[in-house]
Structure 1
Amino acid sequence: MFKWDAEEYQKSSSAQQKWARELITKMDLQGSEVVLDIGCGDGKVTSEIATHLKDGCIMGIDSSIDMIELATRTFPLKKHPNLHFKLKDFQEIDYNSKFDIIFSNAALHWIKGHEDILKRIQKSLKPDGRILIQMGGKGNAQKILDLADEIITKEKWNNYFQGFTFPYGFYGPKKYIKWLNEANLKPVRVELISKVMVQKGFKGLKSWIRTVWLPYTQRIPEDLREDFINELATRYIEQYPLDNEGMVHVNMVRLEVEAFKG
Structure 2
Amino acid sequence: MGNEYSWNADDYAKNSPFQKKWARELIKKLSLKGNEWILDIGCGDGKVTFEIAQHVPDGCAVGIDSSEEMVKLASKMFPPSKYPNLSFKLLDVREMDFFEEFDVIFSNAALHWVIDHKPVLRRMFRALKPGGRAVVQMGGKGNAAGVVEVLNKIMTENPWKEYFLDFSFPYGFYSLERYKPWLIDAGFKVQYIELKPKMMIYESVEKFKGWIRTTWLPYINRVPEKLRNSFIDLVVERYLDKHPIDGNGRIKVSMQRLEFVAVR
Partner of 1:201: 204
Contact 1:202–1:237 at 8 Å: present in 2 too? no
Q: 1:36 aligns with which of 35, 39, 42?
A: 39
How many Å separate the matches in 1 of 2:27 and 2:66? 22
Matched, 1:125 2:128: yes
Amino acid paired to 2:91: K
Aligned partner (choices 217, 230, 235) of residue 238 of structure 2: 235
Q: TM (normalized to structure 2)?
A: 0.97
Q: Output aligned runs, 1:1-262, within 5 Å.
A: 1-261=4-264
Q: Which amino acid aligns with 2:27?
A: I
**Aligned amino acid, residue 223 of structure 2:** I
Tell me the matched-pair count: 261
Give yes or no for contact 1:132–1:258 (8 Å, CA) kept in 2: yes
Q: Displacement, 1:243? A: 2.5
Displacement of 1:247 after TM fit? Answer: 2.0
Tell me the C-alpha RMSD between the 2 structures: 0.8
Question: Taking every aligned residue pair, what percent have the same amino acid on both sides?
Answer: 50
What code does the residue aligned with 1:88 have? Answer: L
Question: How many angstroms does 1:59 deviate by?
Answer: 0.3
Q: TM-score, normalised on structure 1?
A: 0.98
2:150 maps to amino acid: L
Q: Which amino acid aligns with 1:27?
A: L
Q: Deviations over 1:40-95 (max 9, x none)?
A: 00001111111100101000000111101111111111221111001111111100
| CA distance, structure 1, for counterparts of residue 260 and residue 107 of structure 2 | 10
d(CA) in 2 for partners of 1:250, 1:187: 29
Gaps of 5+ in 1: none
Aligned-pair CA distance for 1:257? 1.0
Letter of the 2:245 counterpart? L
